[in-house]
């Protein structure tokens, strides 16, 4: 039956690798990038008689995330065995939590595709172990068991999303929360954060549709593309009078389509049973208190505060709070800038015009600092916050031009020397001597009579050209703002002289 108005119903199952030194149930290292199978033992390889022991750091991470998202934390939670047989699972089962998860409920706010905030209710957060990594080369498949046993937190949402864009936006925000809390590094490219999605179409009479599951989405773009593809596929089936079969699909990002991998398993297919080798995980009041003390200001709340406290544009606030370290760095720079102001200058720093120091700092961090980090492959800013604030003050008080300051910043990243020292060493201190500047202005105007004529004819944008020529003639040492003022004065005088010269009396018209 054709259901053109059927509403998508989407639920997400997000797996986040927990940042621990050892695996979930053994002492093997979590350095998955090392040589294949370098970090394995009888426990994570599933040898008979090997007994697992819960890594306490995993429980602490689960409690921290649960408290951050307002979940109910259960004093007692139990582990179970989830059976399936695949080369990436050495034991033939996965240790996970089933009927008694550590956290249930909770909500997370995110900014949806319509630009407004939404709250999504969570079903649960539980602890489990990761499977191995399979490498497919031609007709062969190789197994790297370094990843087997890496601790995971699985975050399961209610089926509350009605658009792929909102599901992807939720994933972005959850990643920020996990990174801010120090629980996960958030790298979807390396598999640290992965997402499965359940999709169905609710019919116009309110009856639920058949649910399918999509796996192998390793980017936010892939989440949105895969969900939209599956929604369109289900609509096409219904339009053609065909039924949607319950299935698990594997997303192929390169092909931009999914393929059916197998029929979708139900809970009964996994033959869950209690894990006999692990006692229940017990959450104490000490766990709760420690988690509450560790919860940072969450990214969306910090983004709101940046909008209100610093009067930043929405884009600035979003970019600066994407990573906790950058948000901290920005506030440190602003604090150093603000501390340098006089009481009479509360609210602004001299930058040639009155500018809110937060926006001044934001421009440089979003531009030069983040660009430098990307190009150098750095995870933190290349210069200290106090040093960047010193450089911004040098721009503000006219010691160095904004363009020359980029060279200074690059040199600071190499040496961490004071900006004024670098400015003098590179000869970048702005020239402010009016007599010298006037001489350079005269030389520039005399050398470009055609441009002067065009300026007098109304093309005042040529003033920027003249400033550039003065900067070039001065070797970049001229103060561009002062040069612009002197150029206007000189052009005005030249204009008056030309007008006088064109008058029969030589004095201009009365």
Distance CA 223, CA 176 (A): 16
pLDDT in tens, 295-346: 999 999 999 999 999 999 999 999 999 999 999 999 999 999 988 654 434 3
Do β-strands 257-263 and 103-104 pair in parallel, antiparallel, or remain unpaired? unpaired
Q: Are strands 140-144 and 151-157 parallel, antiparallel or unpaired?
A: unpaired
Listed residue (184, 130, 128) closest to 156, CA to CA: 128
Backbone angles phi, psi at 162, to 5 degrees: -120, 5
Distances from the Cα of 110 to the Cα of 174, 181, 188, angstroms: 8, 16, 19
- Tell me, what's the pLDDT at 495? 56
C-alpha distances out from residue 454 to 66, 220, 305, 465, 469, Å: 67, 51, 49, 12, 16
In whole angstroms, what is the distance from residue 96 CA to residue 131 CA?
11
pLDDT digits (tens, 9 = 90+) for 90-99: 999 999 999 9
Q: For residue 276, count CB atoms less than 10 angstroms from its CB and return exposed for 0-12, middle for 13-18, buried for 19 or more.
A: exposed
The whole-number pLDDT of residue 270 equals 79
Give the separation between CA 307 and CA 63, rounded to whole angstroms.
Answer: 30
Q: What is the pLDDT of residue 343?
A: 40
Query: What pLDDT, on the 0 to 100 scale, is given for residue 351?
Result: 40
Domain spans in the chain, listed from the N-terminal domain onward: 7-271, 296-425, 434-502
Measured on CA atoms in the order 356, 359, 363, 365, is the torsion positive or negative? positive
Separation between Cα atoms, residue 151 and residue 57, nearest integer Å: 9
**Structure tokens that stand for 262 in this block:** 């197998």
State the Cα–Cα distance between residues 441 and 448, nearest whole angstrom.
Answer: 11
Q: Which pLDDT belongs to residue 218?
A: 87
Over its length of 510 residues, how does the chain's per-residue pLDDT go in tens digits?
556 678 999 999 999 999 999 999 999 999 988 999 999 999 999 999 999 999 999 999 999 999 999 999 999 999 999 998 888 899 999 999 999 999 999 999 999 989 899 999 999 999 999 999 988 888 888 999 999 999 999 999 999 999 999 999 999 999 999 999 999 999 998 889 999 999 999 887 778 888 999 988 889 999 999 999 999 999 999 888 888 989 999 999 889 999 888 766 656 677 899 999 999 999 999 999 999 999 999 999 999 999 999 999 999 999 999 999 999 999 999 999 988 654 434 334 344 334 468 999 999 999 999 999 999 999 899 999 999 999 999 988 888 888 889 999 999 998 888 999 998 888 888 777 788 888 989 999 999 999 888 998 888 888 899 999 988 887 777 778 888 888 988 888 765 555 555 555 544 443
Architecture of domain 434-502: Orthogonal Bundle (1.10)
Helices (H), 115-219: 164-180
Residue 261, H or E segment: strand 257-263
E-assigned strands of 66-172?
72-73, 76-77, 80-83, 93-96, 103-104, 107-111, 117-129, 133-137, 140-144, 151-157
Q: Which of 509, 4, 451 is nearest to 487 (CA)?
A: 451
C-beta of residue 326 within 8 angstroms of C-beta of residue 370: yes
pLDDT of residue 101: 98
């Amino acid at each position: 039956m054709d259901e053109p108005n059927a509403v998508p119903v989407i639920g997400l199952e997000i797996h986040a690798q927990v940042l621990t030194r050892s695996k979930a149930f053994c002492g093997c290292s979590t350095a998955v990038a090392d040589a294949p199978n370098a970090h394995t033992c009888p426990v994570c390889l599933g040898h008979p008689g090997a007994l697992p022991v819960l890594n306490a750091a995993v429980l602490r991470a689960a409690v921290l995330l649960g408290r951050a998202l307002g979940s109910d934390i259960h004093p007692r939670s139990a582990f179970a065995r989830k059976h399936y047989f695949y080369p990436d699972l050495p034991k033939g089962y996965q240790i996970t939590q089933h009927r008694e998860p550590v956290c249930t409920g909770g909500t997370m706010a995110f900014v949806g595709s319509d630009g407004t905030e939404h709250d999504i209710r969570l079903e649960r957060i539980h602890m489990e172990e990761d499977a191995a990594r399979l490498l497919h080369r031609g007709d062969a498949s190789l197994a790297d068991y370094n990843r087997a046993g890496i601790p995971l937190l699985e975050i399961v949402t209610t089926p509350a999303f009605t658009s792929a864009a909102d599901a992807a936006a939720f994933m972005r925000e959850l990643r920020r929360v996990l990174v801010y809390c120090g629980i996960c590094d958030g790298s979807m490219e390396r598999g640290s954060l992965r997402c499965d999605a359940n999709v169905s179409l609710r019919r116009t009479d309110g009856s639920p549709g058949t649910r399918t599951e999509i796996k192998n989405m390793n980017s936010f773009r892939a989440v949105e593309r895969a969900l939209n593809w599956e929604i369109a596929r289900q609509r096409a089936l219904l339009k053609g009078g065909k039924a949607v079969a319950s299935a698990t699909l594997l997303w192929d990002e390169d092909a931009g389509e999914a393929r059916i991998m197998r029929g979708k398993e139900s809970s009964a297919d996994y033959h869950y049973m209690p894990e006999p080798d692990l006692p229940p995980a017990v959450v104490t009041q000490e766990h709760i208190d420690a988690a509450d003390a560790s919860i940072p200001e969450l990214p969306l709340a910090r983004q709101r505060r940046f909008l209100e406290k610093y009067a930043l544009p929405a884009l600035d606030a979003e970019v600066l709070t994407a990573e906790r370290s950058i948000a901290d760095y920005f506030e440190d720079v602003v604090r150093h800038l603000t501390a340098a102001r006089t009481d009479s200058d509360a609210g602004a720093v001299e930058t040639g015009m009155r500018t809110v120091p937060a926006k001044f700092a934001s421009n440089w961090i979003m531009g030069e600092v983040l660009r430098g980090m990307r190009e150098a492959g750095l995870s933190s800013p290349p210069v200290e916050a106090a040093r960047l604030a010193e450089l911004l003050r040098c721009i503000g008080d006219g010691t160095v031009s904004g363009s020359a300051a980029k060279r200074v910043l690059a040199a600071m990243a190499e040496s961490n020397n004071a900006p004024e020292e670098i400015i003098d060493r590179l000869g970048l201190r702005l020239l402010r001597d009016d007599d010298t500047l006037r001489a350079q202005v005269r030389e520039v105007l005399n050398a470009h009579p055609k441009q002067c004529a065009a300026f007098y004819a109304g093309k005042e944008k040529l003033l920027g050209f003249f400033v550039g020529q003065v900067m070039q003639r001065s070797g970049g040492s001229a103060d561009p703002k002062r040069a612009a003022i002197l150029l206007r004065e000189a052009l005005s005088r030249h204009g008056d002289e030309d007008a006088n010269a064109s008058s029969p009396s030589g004095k201009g018209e009365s």
